[in-house]
Structure 1
Amino acid sequence: MYLSTTAVLPRLRFHKMDYSSVDTIRHLLARSHSRTCDYTLAGMIMWAHYFNYEYTIVGNTLFVKGVEENDRSTPAFSIPIGEMPLSESVALLKEYCRDENIPLVFSAVPEDRVEELRQLGDCHVEELTDWADYLYNARDLATLPGNRYSKKRNHVNRFTSDHPGTTLVDLTPEMVPQIKDFINSLPPDREHVTAQIERNEVIRLLDHWDSVHMDGAVLVTPDHGIVAFAIGEVIADTLYVHIEKMLHDINGAGETINKEFAAMMLERYGVTFINREEDAGDEGLRRAKESYHPLMMLRKYNVAFTD
């Protein structure tokens, strides 16, 4: 049971977040009511080093300290998750920031949480325009219905025709070495600074595959072996697709892993929505995500307290 911290504010002491933190933070992250990817286990743990994530737990509430999405030189916090009322958890963070002589900034705040923060003091709100998540209807991605998905279906049908005997299998611990070899065989993306960072973090996630308890699917052809794989995390009614890699020179591999992974997760968990995360300002990625007709964009904001 949560006990009020109003009378005496405890000193927050943050600790480095890494894969040893998984079991400690998982149950609290599951209490987030947001559908944005930032409050998922992979959203935290995969990017803990890049965003300098640290954490502490007070009053059965998870506090996460990192940096702003758009400015890694500025400390920022995630919205606390757990039993403590937001007014009290923000008061704790205000006290911590006063002691550290830093501003209190919340980064990647879901749109539906901004007003709660506004009620707790004067603040400046700024939309993070490149970091909105794409949210889709799960059944649409699993079945590609109607005229608007005809091109996607054509790519899937072409892939199926070109590669008879293709199978979709679960990503098991035994498959991890093969998946790591597949990742290392992909050509490097020299245009995007974070591409190599992401590749390294995917490898690190696979190194801890037994402990993260996520779902993965691998597309295997008789002629080329592994041609694509996807990794996701289901929370409540939403599948978060954290990783999707494919051989781009195999026509339809990307469309097929997208469709088949959605179908697998729909059948397994009955999910309603699929979050395919943000485009980070990449125009090519933006066009690709828009081509699947998102239901909505889950917008995010920086909220900086000025009082």
Structure 2
Amino acid sequence: MANLTIGKKTLKPFTMDVKPILEKYLTKINVDISDYTFAANYIWLANSSGFYTISNKCFCLFVMNGGELTMLLPPIGKQKNVIHAMELCFKIMNKNNSSKYYARIDYVYGSIIEQFVQSVDEAETMFQMLENYVVEKKLVDYVYKADSLIELRGNSYHTKRTEINKFIKSYPNYRIETLEHVKHFDDIIALFNKWVSDRVKYMPHEEAEVFLEGIHQERHAIKKMLKHYQELDLIGLVIYIDNQLKGFTAGERINGDTACVIIEKTDFEVLGCAQFIFREFSKLLQTHYGVMYINVGDDMGFENLKKVKMSYRPFKLIPKYTIYQK
């Protein structure tokens, strides 16, 4: 894959080789948002669409879509360098794009927004920034205390406990295995295909159209995740009933206190399977990484997914923002 040259700036391909580079820069910040890992970005990008550069001592991740350049994350680096790096990145995007309105920075965390608005002592420059940019709140990440997801104590988790107990009673022959990318590859893809078919059946028509548009990308992401599973340092579980795969999940560490669930799929026809594998994987994440919190990502704007994630009583919701140019 070739470099991308824009003016005098060279953007390099975002390949597996970039993992240690990005992770070095991620150590300079303390963010518990699920998007701030190498794997979270790598598996969702097409092989030809991701590019990065180092600008003002910050790691800057771009994606090319239809010839237009945007940023998947704000510049990653020391706080004192980030704002100027953002300005430089907008210049790169404007140099490439057919209109400045295509340029944007996604998944920006809150403290960066505060810093962006109040970046300098001179009020005139601050007002100039507010005049030139629009900040829009987008989705939120759902973060839970790991102990809460494991113990499921209290009335608020009564339904979850009941569903898990019914699953164990109905399927006493279930077995859980550690996810192995080669061994389980075909079964995982088959379950994903079934999950898509079942999901569309129970989804409102207006949501189904949007949902199906992203299925190709998600299938590609799962295959990419499995292909590079060991290199990405992921952990996961699968669950079988009568030698048929009924659920799989995978995740990773975000920072010292927080791990995240990258993906989880279960067979809709096996009641309680989703609740059971989520609890078991929460145990694994806590034990393996020694974390206090588990981030399950955002709800992608789907009301059903929002209801499910809220039903687990999140410890906190972390807003994510997008910065546009006016």
Q: Same fold (TM over 0.5)?
A: yes
What is the identity, as a one-letter code, of the residue corresponding to 2:12?
H
Q: Are 1:113 and 2:105 an aligned pair?
A: no
User: Aligned-pair distance for 1:254?
Assistant: 0.3
TM-score (ref. length: structure 1) = 0.84
Distance of 1:281 and 1:91 partners within structure 2 = 29
Q: Is the 8 A contact 1:142 1:260 kept in 2?
A: yes
Q: Are 1:133 and 2:141 an aligned pair?
A: yes
Q: 1:233 is matched with which residue?
A: 252
User: Aligned-pair distance for 1:144?
Assistant: 0.9
Q: Are 1:22 and 2:42 an aligned pair?
A: no
Q: Which runs of 5+ in 1 are unaligned?
A: 1-9
Q: Is the 8 A contact 1:127 1:301 kept in 2?
A: yes
Q: Are 1:271 and 2:268 an aligned pair?
A: no
Bigger mean CA offset, 100-109 vs 131-140: 100-109
User: Aligned-pair distance for 1:164?
Assistant: 1.6
Distance of 2:59 and 2:258 partners within structure 1 = 21
Q: Is the 8 A contact 1:126 1:302 kept in 2?
A: yes
Q: Residues 117, 50 of structure 1: CA spacing in aligned structure 2 closer, same or farther, 3 A cutoff?
A: farther
Distance of 2:178 and 2:24 partners within structure 1 = 24
Q: Residues 146, 67 of structure 1: CA spacing in aligned structure 2 closer, same or farther, 3 A cutoff?
A: farther
Q: 2:279 is matched with which residue?
A: 259
Q: 1:152 is matched with which residue?
A: 160
Q: Residues 20, 182 of structure 1: CA spacing in aligned structure 2 closer, same or farther, 3 A cutoff?
A: farther
Q: 1:142 aligns with which of 134, 141, 150?
A: 150
Q: Residues 220, 53 of structure 1: CA spacing in aligned structure 2 closer, same or farther, 3 A cutoff?
A: same
Q: 2:300 is matched with which residue?
A: 280
Distance of 2:90 and 2:195 partners within structure 1 = 45
Q: Residues 19, 59 of structure 1: CA spacing in aligned structure 2 closer, same or farther, 3 A cutoff?
A: same
Q: Is the 8 A contact 2:181 2:227 kept in 1?
A: no
Distance of 1:74 and 1:96 partners within structure 2 = 9
Q: Residues 108, 214 of structure 1: CA spacing in aligned structure 2 closer, same or farther, 3 A cutoff?
A: same
Q: Residues 65, 74 of structure 1: CA spacing in aligned structure 2 closer, same or farther, 3 A cutoff?
A: closer
Structure 1 or 2: more helix by fraction:
2
User: Aligned-pair distance for 1:112?
Assistant: 2.4
User: Aligned-pair distance for 1:52?
Assistant: 4.1
User: Aligned-pair distance for 1:151?
Assistant: 0.4
Q: Is the 8 A contact 2:54 2:60 kept in 1?
A: yes
Q: Residues 159, 266 of structure 1: CA spacing in aligned structure 2 closer, same or farther, 3 A cutoff?
A: same
Distance of 1:172 and 1:141 partners within structure 2 = 24
Q: How many residues align?
A: 293
Q: Are 1:13 and 2:10 an aligned pair?
A: yes
Q: 2:204 is matched with which residue?
A: none
TM-score (ref. length: structure 2) = 0.79
Q: Residues 93, 186 of structure 1: CA spacing in aligned structure 2 closer, same or farther, 3 A cutoff?
A: closer
Deviations 1:72-120 (A, max 9, x none): 9673452211357224423432543564473663222112221111134
Q: 1:55 is matched with which residue?
A: 52
Deviations 1:236-270 (A, max 9, x none): 21111110010110010000011110011112222
Distance of 1:216 and 1:30 partners within structure 2 = 24
User: Aligned-pair distance for 1:207?
Assistant: 1.3
How much identity, in percent, do the aligned residues show?
25
Q: 2:33 aligns with which of 33, 36, 50?
A: 36
Distance of 1:202 and 1:94 partners within structure 2 = 31
Q: Is the 8 A contact 1:31 1:82 kept in 2?
A: yes
What is the identity, as a one-letter code, of the residue corresponding to 1:152?
K
